[in-house]
């Protein structure tokens, strides 16, 4: 995270009331005694106390740094959990820190850190709702505090660095129903795709090209061929094989469903999103999710 030691500070309502009370004592003491004796002592004492509160609130943020901000890819519509690492690089503990996200001029969400020990690091989690797929920059962070006296409010600003990934929701037909070797148009299977690992009963919506006609000729049973691999290679999950859906977002959701299905069943796969994209596999699921999130048909 990009940061600086610049700290901003303003009085809270308690500080404004405190200042108004000191001013009232000054005015009353001036007109009653010409500003001397007890009123003068009280005013000077309160002014010194206010300055000390200002300095202490400012110092409570000095040395506080956001050193990392990470998140795991999530499907659209769920919450991203930002893991923010907060470090105290000073020699004194910091109290009552609050970390929030800044959206424009609004502050939202946030987490509370009661005590941050000298040289220590605390990891907090902030939830961010999502509505659509994409790769989004981490929102700016505010770290604030009004301790130790509560008269002032101080904050530090940390600019965004890095991004979080929201991939398409995994929705669609199972891989067995629409194998990547044959599209809805009834294309012939690629060479080597007759290596069948198992069968399952035919269900409405299955491609007729996936029926095992040999079994049907012998027994009259409608069984669909399923595959674990093709010629010992990874199952190819291709953008072209989702053309039967039409809508680009639905096609991406189908690919996301297949990636999730293969990962759940521990089946090797290759994700093909066109010639401009490097083929991805189950060895790097985060890269697969990022590619689906950023893909522009």
Q: Is the same domain home to 132 and 207?
A: no
pLDDT tens-place string over residues 81-140: 999 999 999 999 999 999 988 776 677 777 889 999 999 999 999 998 899 999 999 888
pLDDT tens-place string over residues 210-227: 677 788 888 888 887 655
- Position 227 scores a pLDDT of 52
Question: Whole domain around residue 162: which residue ranges?
Answer: 1-167
CATH number where 134 lies? 2.60.40.10
HSE-CB at 151 with a 13 A cutoff on CA atoms is 19
**Domain contains 181:** no
Q: Is the same domain home to 139 and 216?
A: no
pLDDT at 79 over 80: yes
pLDDT at 254 over 90: yes
Query: How far apart (Å, rounded) are the C-alpha atoms in residues 178 and 189?
Result: 12
pLDDT at 181 over 50: no
Q: Which of 189, 116, 128, 129 is nearest to 156 (CA)?
A: 116
Can you name the residues that pair with 79 across neighbouring β-strands?
A: 129
Neighbours of 77 (CB within 10 A): 13
Q: Is the same domain home to 145 and 248?
A: no
**Domain contains 189:** no
pTM, to two decimals: 0.70
**Domain contains 63:** yes
Q: Which of 93, 147, 89, 91 is nearest to 117 (CA)?
A: 93
Q: Is the same domain home to 8 and 137?
A: yes
**What SS3 state is found at 248?**
helix
Strands (E), 12-162: 64-70, 74-75, 79-88, 94-103, 106-116, 121-129, 134-137, 141-145, 152-158
Domain count, the chain: 2
pLDDT at 182 over 50: no
pLDDT tens-place string over residues 15-73: 899 889 888 888 887 777 666 677 778 888 888 988 998 999 999 999 999 888 889 99
* Mean residue pLDDT across the chain: 81
**Domain contains 190:** no
pLDDT at 193 over 50: no
Q: Is the same domain home to 17 and 61?
A: yes
């Amino acid at each position: 995270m990009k940061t600086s030691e610049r700290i901003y500070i303003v009085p809270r309502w308690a500080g404004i009331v405190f200042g108004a009370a000191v001013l009232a004592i000054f005015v009353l003491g001036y007109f009653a005694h010409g500003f001397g004796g007890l009123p003068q002592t009280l005013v000077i004492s309160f002014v010194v106390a206010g300055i000390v509160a200002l300095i202490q609130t400012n110092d409570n943020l000095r040395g506080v740094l956001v050193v990392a901000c990470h998140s795991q890819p999530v499907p659209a519509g769920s919450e991203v959990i930002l893991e923010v690492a907060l470090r105290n690089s000073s020699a004194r503990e910091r109290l009552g820190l609050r970390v929030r996200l800044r959206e424009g001029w609004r502050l939202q969400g946030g987490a509370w850190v009661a005590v941050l020990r000298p040289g220590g690091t605390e990891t907090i989690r902030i939830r961010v709702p999502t509505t659509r797929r994409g790769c989004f920059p981490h929102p700016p962070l505010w770290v604030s505090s009004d301790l130790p006296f509560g008269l002032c409010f101080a904050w530090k600003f940390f600019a965004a660095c890095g991004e979080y990934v929201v991939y398409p929701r995994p929705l669609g037909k199972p891989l067995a129903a629409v194998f990547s070797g044959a599209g809805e148009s009834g294309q012939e299977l690629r060479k080597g795709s007759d290596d069948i690992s198992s069968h399952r009963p035919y269900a409405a919506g299955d491609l007729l090209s996936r029926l095992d006609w040999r079994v049907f000729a012998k027994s009259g049973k409608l069984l669909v061929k399923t595959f674990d691999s093709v010629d010992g290679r990874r199952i190819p999950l291709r953008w072209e094989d989702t053309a039967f859906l039409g809508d680009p977002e639905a096609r991406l959701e189908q690919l996301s469903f297949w990636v999730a299905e293969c990962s759940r069943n521990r089946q090797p796969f290759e994700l093909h999103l066109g010639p401009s994209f490097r083929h991805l596999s189950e060895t790097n699921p985060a890269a697969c999710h990022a590619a689906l999130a950023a893909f522009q048909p």
